[in-house]
Amino acid sequence: ARERLRQKFVDADVGISGANVIAADTGTVFVIENEGNARFSTNAPSVHICVSGIEKVVPTVEDALLISRVITPNATGQLMPVYISLITGPSRTADIELKLTLGVHGPKEYHMVLVDNGRSKMMKDSDFKEASYCIRCGACLSECPVYREIGGIIWSYKYMGGIGAIWTAFTHGLEKAAPIAFTCAVCGRCKAVCPMEINIPEMILKLRERLLKAGLTPQQLINVSNNIRNLNNPFGIIREVEKA
């Protein structure tokens, strides 16, 4: 990867990154990683564009540092990651004749794109506001028995797992969220390990209520209910009645 990608980073006109957390008081972006590729892509090109959801913004640098300390142990089991990049605007120096110059070593331009896409609606919803506290550490997925058996490719739309069902409902609509929400076992193991203490099972049940009211019950569940009612078993097996 080093041999193949290094020159591409150097030759790139624009580097695009996300953000793990953003401090509102200084505009500082925190990028947490072990590999170093994110650091290189934010440093080598002459233009850096950061794209992030509005939920990543916290009031102060101190708050952002606290979130950074929480992410890594719950994501990878490390006390600290290999790299934490704090980016506050384009590269600058006054070493050249004491004149402030941009982009001498790093990017000359820096742009931040904050994405809403249903997030503000979620934050205003008292039933689901907690979902916006998610720091994307993945601890819930590591503990989830459903994710362990079927994986994230099947159990997702854009976001995986139980917390992903809530996020999908607000960013991509209830219809996309229905299969994810009704696959959740509601066992509560995600809540037990979440560093932000997000009550995912309770939100899943509330989401299911809204899905039922919207007529978005998965057909498989309707079939199971009908089979139990009509055939006394969930599998649709027709048993012959023995004649006396």
* pLDDT per position as a tens digit, 42-59: 999 999 999 999 999 999
243 part of a folded domain: no
Residue 243, pLDDT > 60, answer no
Based on the structure, what is the number of domains in the chain?
2
E-assigned strand segments in 40-115: 47-53, 57-58, 83-87, 92-93, 101-102, 109-115
pLDDT score recorded for residue 242 = 55
Beta bridge partners of 110: 48
pTM: predicted TM-score of the whole model, two decimal places: 0.87
Residue 160: which residues within 8 A CB-CB, separation 6 or more? 141, 147, 152
Which residue's structure tokens are 């990028």? 31
Q: Which of 100, 115, 130 is the last residue in one of the domains? A: 115
pLDDT score recorded for residue 40 = 92
Tell me: do 225 and 188 sit in the same domain: yes
pLDDT score recorded for residue 154 = 85
Tell me: do 63 and 85 sit in the same domain: yes
Q: Which of 58, 82, 115 is the last residue in one of the domains? A: 115
Tell me: do 214 and 159 sit in the same domain: yes
pLDDT score recorded for residue 101 = 86
Tell me: do 97 and 188 sit in the same domain: no
241 part of a folded domain: no
Q: Which of 115, 143, 175 is the last residue in one of the domains? A: 115
Runs of H (alpha helix) within the chain: 2-11, 37-43, 61-76, 119-124, 139-143, 145-154, 161-171, 174-183, 189-193, 200-213, 219-231
236 part of a folded domain: no
238 part of a folded domain: no
CATH code, domain carrying 12? 3.40.50.10420
Determine the structural domain holding residue 88 and report its residue range. Answer: 2-115
pLDDT score recorded for residue 122 = 98
Helix axis angle, 174-183 to 161-171, nearest 10°: 170
Tell me: do 148 and 85 sit in the same domain: no
Query: Mean pLDDT across the chain, nearest whole number?
Result: 93
215 part of a folded domain: yes
Q: What is the pLDDT averaged over residues 19-26?
A: 98
* pLDDT per position as a tens digit, 208-233: 999 999 999 888 888 888 999 998 89
91 part of a folded domain: yes
217 part of a folded domain: yes
Residues composing the chain:
244
Q: In Å, what is the CA distance from 115 to each residue of 18, 54, 91, 156, 171? A: 11, 6, 24, 20, 11
55 part of a folded domain: yes
